Amino acid sequence: LPIVFCSGHGTIDMAVLAVRKGAVDFLEKPVEVERLVESLERACEKDLQRVEAQMLSLREKEKVDSLTQREKEVAKALADGSSNRAAGLKLGISEKTVQIHRGSLCKKLGIRSQVEISKVVEKYLF
């Protein structure tokens, strides 16, 4: 949860430590209502961004988990910039088979380029 500290006896060291540990703000009492509202809005916005990023990451992970083992192997073989033919040679399969698996994995992941395949491999498959 986002935290906004309010203290009537806070020190600079306490404020620095609180912010380093993740507090959104450290306010000294008595707190002006406007400043408190701004801090709370910032804290809520920060938490909303965190939750949205987690949800996006979870959806991406679910898509990657939907790939077959062979699609994952093809993605890894293509991740270094290899051509379909070179990936096929690495895996001992034909270029056409690589193209089929590449098309399938791109469709499942909602991506289109080899750069995007590389990013997925880097983030989820290594």
pLDDT tens, residue by residue, 4-48: 999 999 999 999 999 999 999 999 999 999 999 999 999 999 999
Predicted confidence band at 107 (pLDDT cuts at 50, 70, 90)? very high
- Domain harbouring 28, CATH code: 3.40.50.2300
- Domain harbouring 115, CATH code: 1.10.10.10
Candidates 13, 20, 120; CA nearest to 72 is 120
**How long, in residues, is the chain?**
126
Cis peptide before 2 (omega within 30 of 0): no
Q: How far is CA 65 from the centre of its chain?
A: 15
> Do 18 and 48 belong to one domain?
yes
In sequence order, the β-bridge partners of residue 27 are 6
- pLDDT at res. 126: 78
Which residue range(s) make up the domain with 26? 4-63
32 CB burial (10 A radius; 0-12, 13-18, 19+):
exposed
Task: Dig out the tokens for 34 from the structure.
Answer: 């406007």
